[in-house]
Amino acid sequence: MENYNKLVEHYKTISNFSHLSAICGWDAAAMMPSGGNHARSEAMAQLSLHIHQLSTAPQLADWFEQAQSDDLDAGQRASLTEMKRQWQLSTVVPEDLVKAKSLAGSKCEHAWRTQRGNNDWDGFCKNFEQVVRLSQEEAQIRGEQAGLSPYDAMLDIYEPGVNTKQLDAIFGDLVSWLPQLTQQVIDKQKSESVYETNESYSTEQQNALGLEVMKLLQFDFDHGRLDISSHPFCGGVPQDVRITTRYDESDFVQSLMGIVHETGHARYEQGLPKKWAGLPVGQARSMGIHESQSLFFEMQLGRSEPFIRNLAPLAQKHFVTNNNQVFELSNLQKIYTRVQPGYIRVDADELTYPAHVILRYEIERDLMNGIIGYRDIPELWDLKMKQLLNLSTEGNFKDGCMQDIHWTDGSFGYFPSYTLGAMYAAQFMAAIEETIDVNEAIRTGDLTPIFTWLSENIWSKGCLFTTDELVSSATGQTLNSQYFEEHLKRRYL
């Protein structure tokens, strides 16, 4: 145990510094005045360097070796496995490359903020070229070390265990039925009339409603807060989860579901195993599982009929309107399940969202594997948008391949997590429905049985299991995309 305990102490130290990074990162997005940015960036870069040094400390190799012969129980074995995983992810890429990529990503992202508005693809490419080159180099090195293709090695950072072969199959299946279903739903919704809201809802009103919905979702306000930032996120630490949203006074729709979404991320963090706090094994299993929780809250719960039945009187209570029909159950339900192909991923509905992910997946896969170059992206983007959503993005870079931050800062391999998350969410809901009357629980406003299931099967497990093991033990089988298909057909047809 002695060697393992040295590792525990070391990883708790890393966790303490990561805590400070999380809080100061939240502060930079939600609180900091713009003039504080320069000094903060320097302080955060210093902290990142320190965390990187701790994560790649030379003595760790020996400690891992020695800890193998410690007498460890199953939990400690899993804990050791996750420490090693994080250590390998950190050490495999040379420090120079880490720094160069981080620098290139920051530079590209900073310029992108104005270039996107100007639709300036050529200007963007001047920085993006470097980001792609360094990311390809990283993918190459990670792949060689792990015995994987370059892109599979990048996937492994965010979604350990998943690979191109699986994703090709899963996404291939999706493409075989989703576009057709989407068209069917669009045709069906054409004949429906929806009362649009064209009134103004103050930030204070929207915030008060948001807080009430968070209470319904049992967000623990003794261990977290809701604030405002220009891009909504879930940050902080499990003991103090900071979620943010943005308010558009002419449109309450997006921000409210945004709060529900981030509350899903937050409850996963708040429900992580306290016994393993501060250790890698006590963290969220993967980005896909993290997205499964936010999408479980937003899609499985939030847009369901009984949930909107709860929402309707709350909206009526907080919003003064000249048109009460807007906040009636049937109308709110239509608003929250409307399907409309569009250019922008983050604005996409449940049915068209996967198309945005699949398109990015296919491009980033081939880019990391060296099959295409970054100059090929716009044409491929346009082609796939036409195939999947029947929309042209010819010459429209800002609503096309320049819309996301992920590639801009070199996070290739992240996108599939979103759609994996949507599928896991549907599978979890199907499993829950086997033993719990979900609609009845939502209708009564006491969602405890649902959250107890999630807590026992997902949240409290941290990284004790692989994703496959976690999903199997929770649902009796590994990922099965059929539940997602059934969910969509049931809700939208």
Binding site residues, as ranges?
A: 261, 265, 291
The CA dihedral of 468, 473, 477, 479, to the nearest 10 degrees, is: -40
Q: Which is nearer to a copy of itself, 206 or 419 (CB)?
A: 206
CB count within 10 Å of CB 64 equals 17
The minimum distance between CB 10 and a copy of itself, in angstroms, equals 12
Please state, in angstroms and rounded to a whole number, the distance separating the CA atoms of residues 435 and 452.
Answer: 12
The minimum distance between CB 212 and a copy of itself, in angstroms, equals 18
Residues belonging to the chain: 493
The minimum distance between CB 21 and a copy of itself, in angstroms, equals 8
Positions marked catalytic: 262
Question: What is the SS3 assignment for 234?
Answer: strand
> Which spans of this chain sit near a copy of itself (rule: CB under 8 A)?
13, 16-17, 19-20, 23-24, 27, 31-36, 38-40, 42-44, 46-47, 50, 220-225, 236-240, 277
Q: Which is nearer to a copy of itself, 84 or 223 (CB)?
A: 223
Tokens of 377: 């992206």
CA distances from 95 to 62, 90, 132, 275 (A): 20, 9, 18, 33
The minimum distance between CB 103 and a copy of itself, in angstroms, equals 17
Q: Which is nearer to a copy of itself, 107 or 223 (CB)?
A: 223
Q: Which is nearer to a copy of itself, 26 or 201 (CB)?
A: 26
Amino acid at 242: R
Contacts with 422 (C-beta within 8 Å, 6 or more apart), sequence order? 291, 292, 295, 299, 350, 353, 354, 484
The minimum distance between CB 403 and a copy of itself, in angstroms, equals 30
Q: Which is nearer to a copy of itself, 13 or 478 (CB)?
A: 13
- CA angle, 456 as apex, 459 and 486 as ends, to 5°? 80
CB count within 10 Å of CB 275 equals 11
Please state, in angstroms and rounded to a whole number, the distance separating the CA atoms of residues 364 and 469.
Answer: 28
Q: Which is nearer to a copy of itself, 115 or 244 (CB)?
A: 244
The minimum distance between CB 106 and a copy of itself, in angstroms, equals 17
**Cα four-point dihedral sign 343, 345, 346, 352:** positive
Relative to beta strand 234-237, strand 240-245 is antiparallel
| Binding residue numbers for Zn(2+) | 261, 265, 291
- Cα R_g (the chain), whole angstroms: 23
